[in-house]
Every structure is written in C-alpha cells, then in structure tokens.
Amino acid sequence: MDVALIPARGGSKRLPGKNMKELAGKPLIQWTIDAALDSQLFDHVCVSTDCEEIADVSKRCGAEVPFIRPTELATDTATTADAVRDFVHKFEALKGVSLQSICVLQPTSPLRTSDDIRAAHRLFTEEGMDAVISVCEMEHPYQLCGRLGPAGSLQGFLEPRHNVRSQEQEIYYRLNGAIYFCRREQALKLESLYDRNVASRAFEMSQWHSVDIDTEMDFLIAEALLSHR
C-alpha cells in the first residue's frame, strides 16, 4: 500500500496561517492535495495536522485526515520526520495494514505538479532506491556567498578561486522540499527527511516548480509564477 502524506501544522511564525492562506483562489494546502490526487499513484492521500480547520478543509478537498496530530509533534522544534513516524505507526494500527512506501508532499510547495510526482515515482520504482528526494538548481551560485566580518567588512568574503564569472561556476543544487519518496523501513528510521546514510537519488525539478513558501515574499513569488502558468 502506497500513501501520500501532507504534513500541515496549524502554527507558523514567519507567515501565520500559511497552509490556509488563499493562493490563486484556493487554500495553499489544496494545491498539494490536488496534485497528489491527480497523480493517481496513491491508495490514500492523507493530511497530518494538529489543526481542526486544516483538517476540515483537507477533507472537503478530497484528502483523508485519519487522526489529529498530537500537539507535541506540531511545535517549532518538532520535525517533519517526527510527524512521519507518528503517522506510519498510527495509520497502520488504525487500518490494520502495512505500508510499502510513503511520499511526503509538503504543502508549502504549491507549484509542484502531478507530473512531477509521477516522474519522481518512476525514478523511485525503476531505480529501486530507498529514497528519492526532489532538488532544483540553486538560483544563485553559492560561491558568491560568504560571511561578513566586523562592522560589515568584506575582507575575505569570497575565496579567490570563487571570484570568477557566474557562467564559470560549478552548478550546485538545493533540496526544494517538494517531493520525498521513501520505503516504510526508512521512514521509521529517519531523523530528518534527508539522511546521508540512506541510498537515495535526486529528482531534479524546474526552479519554476520549486518555490518553497516560508515568508510573505515567497508567497508573492508563487502568486506571480502561477499567473504565468
């Protein structure tokens, strides 16, 4: 049995109520629910939340909310991996089943599409990996980043070998938080969604589909990109 899990806690300090915030006519969380359902890959599309309002909206959008997440797993210090482990144990006990794999789809990635999910799933199944994690090319070369010295000093800000044209920089990628496929056994061991000890493959996504909403500016960027879709 394959399950999509959308972790959506009610609290958010940087952008209050973001999972329910309306984006292009739909609550933010609905974009992810719709993509998961449209992919037609999953036996169940579930939302893990501590918030009754999010639970009600998720159900109206076609997702399942088999139980409310415990408050202690919805704090600023709780991790997504904590919520995943809690969900797997409780879902299996509730349904009397054993999951084969789980796909974590964070609701803060509304531009991720059902085609993206299906393509990542093909990589996951065909390559026989323990995990497939979505990434995208970094928007700016990391080599142009550095730490400021006292009083804003730029002395030593860039390594001499990095002080070259952007076109000559080696390409780096970042985790974009959009798609995470893993096998049940791995889901129960994880301390975070990326584990360097797990046999995993990167699924490369377009930057256009990789906005991860954490702030008001991220939200405005997502709105602008959706207006051009």
Residue type, 27: P
Q: Tokens for 49?
A: 């939340």
> How high is the pLDDT of residue 193?
77
Identify the architecture of domain 2-227 in CATH: Alpha-Beta Complex (3.90)
Model pTM score = 0.91
Decide: 23 and 31 in contact? Cβ < 8 Å: yes
Three-state DSSP class for 181?
A: strand
With tokens 């939302």, the residue in question is 47
What are the φ/ψ torsions at residue 4 (nearest 5 degrees)?
-95, 130
Between 113 and 145, the higher pLDDT residue: 113
Helix axes 28-39, 52-60, angle to 10 degrees: 40
Residues 178-190: tens digit of each pLDDT: 999 999 998 888 7
5: DSSP letter: E
Strands 173-183 and 101-104: antiparallel
Q: Indicate the pLDDT class of residue 213, thresholds 50, 70 and 90.
A: very high
Decide: 65 and 49 in contact? Cβ < 8 Å: yes
Residues 65-104: tens digit of each pLDDT: 999 999 888 887 788 899 999 999 999 999 999 999 999 9
* CA–CA dist 193, 91 (Å, integer): 19
* CA–CA dist 45, 167 (Å, integer): 42
Decide: 9 and 3 in contact? Cβ < 8 Å: no
Q: Is 137 exposed, middle or buried (0-12, 13-18, 19+ CB in 10 A)?
A: middle
* CA–CA dist 30, 57 (Å, integer): 8
Mean pLDDT of 109-120: 98
Decide: 58 and 70 in contact? Cβ < 8 Å: no
* CA–CA dist 120, 205 (Å, integer): 9
Answer yes or no: is pLDDT of 161 > 70: no
> How high is the pLDDT of residue 166?
61
Strands 2-7 and 101-104: parallel
Answer yes or no: is pLDDT of 111 > 80: yes
Decide: 39 and 105 in contact? Cβ < 8 Å: no
Decide: 30 and 37 in contact? Cβ < 8 Å: no
> How high is the pLDDT of residue 162?
58
Q: What percent of the chain has pLDDT over 70?
A: 97
> How high is the pLDDT of residue 11?
74
> How high is the pLDDT of residue 141?
80
Residues 187-208: tens digit of each pLDDT: 888 777 777 777 899 999 999 9
Residues 25-56: tens digit of each pLDDT: 999 999 999 999 999 999 999 999 999 999 99
